Structure 1
Amino acid sequence: MKTKWIAVTLIALLAALQARLWFGKNSIADYQSMQAQISELEQQNVNLKQRNALVKADITDLELGIDSMEERARHELGLIKEGETFYRILPRSNVNQ
């Protein structure tokens, strides 16, 4: 009779532990969810590191010379030098109107 109760107790304990493993807090589903979040955050970190590297390269270019500042001013602000002629080419759809 005593061994029967020990077996029943062990089976109940095993069932409780299995239920917690599959459905409780910190279960396998939670683990898989956390793994997905980790991989997403790692990808975001890679993207941010790339962006930081580009910004550092821009800073280095700006610190090293005026050529990069001139290039940036021309590209982003549309500035022209003294003595240069600016030509604006309009698309065909705007010429006919």
Structure 2
Amino acid sequence: MRLISIALAVLLLLIQYPLWLGKGGWLAVADMRDQVGTTRHKTELLEARNAKLESEVRDLRDGTGAVEERARYELGMIKQNEIFVQVLRKDEQPAVSMTVPPPPPEPKEKQGR
């Protein structure tokens, strides 16, 4: 009788092994659920980033406001007859020096012969 009990216990353990530690076992399923959650989160972040980039591309294609804003903030450009004022704190460095080209020279009048 004792031998049968031991044999049944060993058989039970052999049957339980794939359930817990096998390829489709509970532990593998739990790991896959964690991976799915992580992947979903990454996908949501990437979708939000794509939507933002798509909106920016649409703005750049359709209007000049986005182009002007980008030129001002990223390239430091200003319009003619505008004055750029930059207020710095003691610990800040000045922005890269961007200069506006001088206005074109006035056309010279042709002198009579």
TM-score (norm 2): 0.67
Count of matched residue pairs: 88
Identity fraction in percent: 34
Gaps of 5+ in 2: 1-5, 93-113
- Per-residue CA deviation, residues 9-54 of structure 1 (Å, 9 max, x unaligned), is 8776544221210122221111100100010000000000000000
Residue in 2 aligned with 1:89?
87
Alignment of 1:36-47 (within 5 A): 36-47=34-45
Residue in 2 aligned with 1:74?
72
Partner letter of residue 59 of structure 1? V
Aligned-partner Cα distance in 2 for 1:72–1:42: 32
Q: Which has the higher helix share?
A: 1
CA radius of gyration, larger in: 2
Gaps of 5+ in 1: 1-7
- Per-residue CA deviation, residues 40-96 of structure 1 (Å, 9 max, x unaligned), is 0000000000000000000100111111100111111221111100112121357xx
Residue in 2 aligned with 1:55?
53
Please give the secondary structure, in 2, of the residue aligned with 1:83: coil
Residue in 2 aligned with 1:23?
21
Range 52-61 or range 82-91, more displaced:
82-91
Runs of 4+ with deviation above 4 angstroms: 8-14
Structure 1 residues 92, 10: CA separation in 2 closer, same or farther (over 3 Å shift)?
closer
Aligned alpha-carbon RMSD (Å): 2.3
Structure 1 residues 24, 77: CA separation in 2 closer, same or farther (over 3 Å shift)?
same
